[in-house]
Amino acid sequence: MSVKSLSKMSVKYPKVKSDNKQRVYIVFYINGKRYRLFNGRKINSNLYPNSYPVGKRFEVAQLLAAEVFKFITSGLSIQEPLKVINKSDLEYFKLALDAKLQGEYSDKYKSMLRFVYDSFTSKLSNENIASNDVKSYLNHYALGVSYNTIKRHLSVLINEARNIGMNSNPMEGIKAKKTKAKLHKPYNDIRLILDEIKLFNNNLYLCCIMTYGCLLRPHREIRELKWSDFSDDLGYIHLSGNRNKSGKNRIVPVPIYVRDIAC
Protein backbone atom coordinates (compact mmCIF):
# COMPACT_ATOMS: atom_id res chain seq x y z
CA MET A 1 0.00 0.00 0.00
CA SER A 2 1.55 3.31 -1.09
CA VAL A 3 1.45 6.70 0.57
CA LYS A 4 -0.51 7.96 -2.43
CA SER A 5 -3.26 5.35 -1.94
CA LEU A 6 -3.39 6.11 1.76
CA SER A 7 -3.94 9.79 1.10
CA LYS A 8 -7.12 8.91 -0.79
CA MET A 9 -8.50 6.98 2.18
CA SER A 10 -8.47 9.81 4.75
CA VAL A 11 -7.12 7.64 7.55
CA LYS A 12 -8.57 8.66 10.90
CA TYR A 13 -6.51 8.85 14.05
CA PRO A 14 -6.78 5.64 16.15
CA LYS A 15 -8.99 5.66 19.24
CA VAL A 16 -8.10 4.28 22.65
CA LYS A 17 -10.74 2.10 24.30
CA SER A 18 -10.96 -0.41 27.13
CA ASP A 19 -12.83 -3.67 27.73
CA ASN A 20 -14.62 -5.00 30.82
CA LYS A 21 -11.33 -6.41 32.13
CA GLN A 22 -9.80 -2.90 32.15
CA ARG A 23 -7.51 -3.83 29.26
CA VAL A 24 -6.88 -0.96 26.86
CA TYR A 25 -6.59 -1.31 23.09
CA ILE A 26 -6.27 0.75 19.91
CA VAL A 27 -9.06 0.83 17.30
CA PHE A 28 -8.67 2.12 13.73
CA TYR A 29 -10.01 1.43 10.22
CA ILE A 30 -8.25 0.85 6.90
CA ASN A 31 -10.41 0.40 3.77
CA GLY A 32 -13.42 -0.18 5.99
CA LYS A 33 -11.71 -2.99 7.87
CA ARG A 34 -11.60 -2.64 11.63
CA TYR A 35 -8.33 -3.27 13.46
CA ARG A 36 -7.87 -3.70 17.19
CA LEU A 37 -4.40 -3.82 18.75
CA PHE A 38 -3.67 -4.54 22.42
CA ASN A 39 0.08 -3.99 21.98
CA GLY A 40 2.64 -2.87 19.44
CA ARG A 41 3.82 -6.25 18.15
CA LYS A 42 2.27 -5.86 14.68
CA ILE A 43 3.99 -2.53 14.10
CA ASN A 44 7.33 -3.62 15.55
CA SER A 45 6.84 -1.56 18.72
CA ASN A 46 7.85 -2.42 22.28
CA LEU A 47 4.76 -0.76 23.79
CA TYR A 48 2.60 -3.09 25.91
CA PRO A 49 0.06 -0.81 27.66
CA ASN A 50 -1.58 -3.62 29.63
CA SER A 51 1.70 -4.50 31.33
CA TYR A 52 1.32 -1.25 33.30
CA PRO A 53 -0.90 -0.57 36.34
CA VAL A 54 -4.52 0.20 35.42
CA GLY A 55 -4.15 3.93 36.11
CA LYS A 56 -1.19 4.18 33.70
CA ARG A 57 -2.53 2.07 30.83
CA PHE A 58 -4.55 4.76 29.02
CA GLU A 59 -1.55 7.10 28.91
CA VAL A 60 0.70 4.40 27.40
CA ALA A 61 -2.08 3.40 24.98
CA GLN A 62 -2.15 6.99 23.70
CA LEU A 63 1.56 6.67 22.89
CA LEU A 64 0.79 3.44 21.05
CA ALA A 65 -2.00 5.18 19.10
CA ALA A 66 0.51 7.80 17.94
CA GLU A 67 2.93 5.09 16.81
CA VAL A 68 0.14 3.23 15.00
CA PHE A 69 -0.96 6.38 13.18
CA LYS A 70 2.63 7.13 12.14
CA PHE A 71 3.00 3.54 10.95
CA ILE A 72 -0.13 3.38 8.77
CA THR A 73 0.35 6.88 7.28
CA SER A 74 3.94 6.07 6.31
CA GLY A 75 2.71 3.68 3.62
CA LEU A 76 3.24 0.42 5.51
CA SER A 77 0.50 -2.16 5.78
CA ILE A 78 -0.54 -3.63 9.07
CA GLN A 79 -0.75 -6.99 7.28
CA GLU A 80 2.75 -6.93 5.81
CA PRO A 81 5.22 -9.42 7.28
CA LEU A 82 7.18 -7.64 9.97
CA LYS A 83 10.10 -8.46 12.15
CA VAL A 84 7.99 -9.03 15.24
CA ILE A 85 9.55 -8.55 18.62
CA ASN A 86 8.68 -11.89 20.19
CA LYS A 87 8.77 -12.37 23.92
CA SER A 88 9.09 -15.69 25.66
CA ASP A 89 6.49 -16.94 28.13
CA LEU A 90 8.95 -16.25 30.94
CA GLU A 91 9.36 -12.62 29.82
CA TYR A 92 5.58 -12.14 29.77
CA PHE A 93 5.42 -13.79 33.19
CA LYS A 94 7.96 -11.28 34.54
CA LEU A 95 6.03 -8.36 33.02
CA ALA A 96 2.91 -9.71 34.71
CA LEU A 97 4.63 -9.77 38.11
CA ASP A 98 5.94 -6.21 37.62
CA ALA A 99 2.44 -5.00 36.70
CA LYS A 100 0.91 -6.58 39.81
CA LEU A 101 3.63 -5.23 42.09
CA GLN A 102 2.89 -1.71 40.85
CA GLY A 103 -0.81 -2.10 41.60
CA GLU A 104 -2.57 -0.96 44.75
CA TYR A 105 -2.51 -4.26 46.59
CA SER A 106 -1.51 -5.17 50.13
CA ASP A 107 2.12 -5.91 50.95
CA LYS A 108 1.12 -9.42 51.99
CA TYR A 109 -0.53 -10.08 48.62
CA LYS A 110 2.48 -8.75 46.71
CA SER A 111 4.83 -10.83 48.86
CA MET A 112 2.84 -13.95 48.02
CA LEU A 113 2.98 -13.17 44.29
CA ARG A 114 6.77 -12.74 44.53
CA PHE A 115 7.07 -16.06 46.34
CA VAL A 116 5.00 -17.89 43.71
CA TYR A 117 6.95 -16.24 40.89
CA ASP A 118 10.37 -17.07 42.39
CA SER A 119 9.51 -20.65 43.38
CA PHE A 120 7.78 -21.43 40.07
CA THR A 121 10.41 -19.95 37.74
CA SER A 122 13.22 -21.68 39.67
CA LYS A 123 11.77 -25.00 38.51
CA LEU A 124 11.42 -24.12 34.82
CA SER A 125 13.85 -25.82 32.45
CA ASN A 126 13.35 -23.27 29.62
CA GLU A 127 11.59 -19.99 28.88
CA ASN A 128 8.33 -21.58 27.74
CA ILE A 129 5.64 -22.40 30.30
CA ALA A 130 3.69 -25.62 29.72
CA SER A 131 0.83 -27.24 31.60
CA ASN A 132 3.19 -29.97 32.79
CA ASP A 133 5.38 -27.30 34.42
CA VAL A 134 2.36 -26.00 36.34
CA LYS A 135 1.23 -29.50 37.35
CA SER A 136 4.71 -30.48 38.52
CA TYR A 137 5.00 -27.29 40.57
CA LEU A 138 1.56 -27.58 42.20
CA ASN A 139 2.09 -31.25 43.05
CA HIS A 140 4.69 -30.18 45.62
CA TYR A 141 1.76 -29.00 47.75
CA ALA A 142 0.00 -32.04 49.16
CA LEU A 143 -2.54 -30.21 51.31
CA GLY A 144 -5.60 -29.03 49.43
CA VAL A 145 -5.64 -25.60 51.05
CA SER A 146 -1.98 -24.91 50.22
CA TYR A 147 -2.41 -26.29 46.70
CA ASN A 148 -5.42 -24.07 46.00
CA THR A 149 -3.78 -20.98 47.50
CA ILE A 150 -0.67 -21.35 45.33
CA LYS A 151 -2.78 -22.19 42.28
CA ARG A 152 -4.91 -19.07 42.79
CA HIS A 153 -1.89 -16.75 42.92
CA LEU A 154 -0.22 -18.51 39.98
CA SER A 155 -3.43 -18.07 37.97
CA VAL A 156 -3.36 -14.34 38.68
CA LEU A 157 0.13 -14.04 37.15
CA ILE A 158 -0.67 -16.32 34.20
CA ASN A 159 -3.87 -14.40 33.39
CA GLU A 160 -2.04 -11.08 33.58
CA ALA A 161 0.69 -12.45 31.28
CA ARG A 162 -1.99 -13.51 28.79
CA ASN A 163 -3.57 -10.04 28.97
CA ILE A 164 -0.21 -8.56 28.09
CA GLY A 165 0.39 -10.82 25.11
CA MET A 166 1.33 -14.39 26.07
CA ASN A 167 -0.46 -16.76 23.69
CA SER A 168 -0.41 -20.01 25.65
CA ASN A 169 -2.63 -20.86 28.61
CA PRO A 170 -0.75 -23.36 30.81
CA MET A 171 -3.48 -23.20 33.48
CA GLU A 172 -6.09 -24.66 31.12
CA GLY A 173 -7.60 -27.88 32.47
CA ILE A 174 -5.93 -27.56 35.87
CA LYS A 175 -8.62 -27.69 38.54
CA ALA A 176 -8.57 -26.81 42.21
CA LYS A 177 -8.41 -29.60 44.76
CA LYS A 178 -11.55 -30.43 46.65
CA THR A 179 -11.21 -29.84 50.36
CA LYS A 180 -13.44 -31.09 53.15
CA ALA A 181 -15.40 -28.35 54.85
CA LYS A 182 -14.78 -27.78 58.54
CA LEU A 183 -17.63 -26.97 60.88
CA HIS A 184 -16.83 -23.99 63.09
CA LYS A 185 -19.10 -23.90 66.12
CA PRO A 186 -19.88 -20.58 67.80
CA TYR A 187 -18.83 -19.89 71.39
CA ASN A 188 -21.75 -20.01 73.79
CA ASP A 189 -20.37 -17.76 76.53
CA ILE A 190 -18.63 -14.76 74.97
CA ARG A 191 -18.38 -12.88 78.27
CA LEU A 192 -16.49 -15.75 79.95
CA ILE A 193 -14.02 -15.98 77.07
CA LEU A 194 -13.43 -12.22 77.04
CA ASP A 195 -12.85 -12.24 80.81
CA GLU A 196 -10.22 -14.96 80.39
CA ILE A 197 -8.51 -12.96 77.64
CA LYS A 198 -8.52 -9.89 79.90
CA LEU A 199 -6.68 -11.83 82.62
CA PHE A 200 -4.12 -12.95 80.07
CA ASN A 201 -3.45 -9.59 78.36
CA ASN A 202 -5.37 -6.34 78.68
CA ASN A 203 -4.34 -5.00 75.26
CA LEU A 204 -5.45 -8.20 73.57
CA TYR A 205 -8.74 -7.91 75.46
CA LEU A 206 -9.21 -4.36 74.15
CA CYS A 207 -8.60 -5.55 70.57
CA CYS A 208 -11.11 -8.39 71.03
CA ILE A 209 -13.80 -6.17 72.52
CA MET A 210 -13.41 -3.68 69.65
CA THR A 211 -13.56 -6.50 67.09
CA TYR A 212 -16.71 -7.80 68.73
CA GLY A 213 -18.36 -4.42 69.36
CA CYS A 214 -17.31 -2.44 66.29
CA LEU A 215 -17.24 -5.30 63.74
CA LEU A 216 -13.72 -4.39 62.66
CA ARG A 217 -11.32 -6.98 61.31
CA PRO A 218 -8.65 -7.97 63.85
CA HIS A 219 -5.65 -7.53 61.55
CA ARG A 220 -5.03 -4.13 59.95
CA GLU A 221 -8.32 -2.47 60.84
CA ILE A 222 -7.74 -2.98 64.56
CA ARG A 223 -3.96 -3.23 64.71
CA GLU A 224 -3.32 0.07 62.92
CA LEU A 225 -5.98 2.18 64.64
CA LYS A 226 -4.95 5.68 65.75
CA TRP A 227 -6.69 8.24 67.93
CA SER A 228 -7.09 10.37 64.81
CA ASP A 229 -9.36 7.67 63.38
CA PHE A 230 -11.92 8.39 66.11
CA SER A 231 -14.43 11.22 66.07
CA ASP A 232 -14.05 13.92 68.75
CA ASP A 233 -16.68 12.31 70.98
CA LEU A 234 -15.21 8.82 70.31
CA GLY A 235 -18.62 7.79 68.97
CA TYR A 236 -17.38 6.76 65.52
CA ILE A 237 -14.32 5.30 63.80
CA HIS A 238 -13.47 6.57 60.31
CA LEU A 239 -11.31 4.38 58.05
CA SER A 240 -10.26 5.30 54.51
CA GLY A 241 -10.37 2.76 51.70
CA ASN A 242 -6.67 1.90 51.95
CA ARG A 243 -7.15 0.87 55.58
CA ASN A 244 -9.73 -1.89 55.11
CA LYS A 245 -10.29 -4.99 53.01
CA SER A 246 -13.27 -3.69 51.01
CA GLY A 247 -11.28 -0.72 49.68
CA LYS A 248 -14.16 1.64 50.53
CA ASN A 249 -14.39 4.28 53.22
CA ARG A 250 -15.91 2.91 56.41
CA ILE A 251 -17.61 4.70 59.28
CA VAL A 252 -18.52 2.43 62.20
CA PRO A 253 -20.19 3.35 65.52
CA VAL A 254 -18.37 2.68 68.79
CA PRO A 255 -20.70 1.21 71.47
CA ILE A 256 -20.71 2.89 74.86
CA TYR A 257 -19.22 -0.14 76.62
CA VAL A 258 -16.26 -0.10 74.20
CA ARG A 259 -15.76 3.64 74.80
CA ASP A 260 -15.74 3.11 78.56
CA ILE A 261 -13.07 0.41 78.29
CA ALA A 262 -10.93 2.30 75.75
CA CYS A 263 -10.91 5.46 77.81
Decide if 177 is inside a domain: no
Q: Does residue 24 contact residue 49 with C-beta atoms inside 8 Å? A: yes
Domains: count for the chain: 3
Decide if 253 is inside a domain: yes
Q: What is the pLDDT of residues 132-188, one digit of tens each?
A: 999 999 999 988 889 999 999 999 999 988 888 788 899 988 888 887 778 888 888
Same domain, 67 and 104: no
End-of-domain residue from the set 73, 99, 123: 73
Same domain, 257 and 195: yes
Decide if 173 is inside a domain: no
- Helix, strand and coil in the chain, % to nearest 5: 50, 10, 40
Write down the mean pLDDT value for the chain. Answer: 85
Residues 6+ positions from 90 with CB-CB distance below 8 Å: 121, 124, 127, 128, 129
Statement: the pTM of the whole predicted model exceeds 0.95: no
**Domain hosting residue 38, numbered range:** 3-73
Q: What pLDDT is stored for residue 84 in this prediction?
A: 43
Q: Counting every residue, how long is the chain?
A: 263
Decide if 46 is inside a domain: yes
End-of-domain residue from the set 44, 73, 102: 73
Same domain, 198 and 224: yes
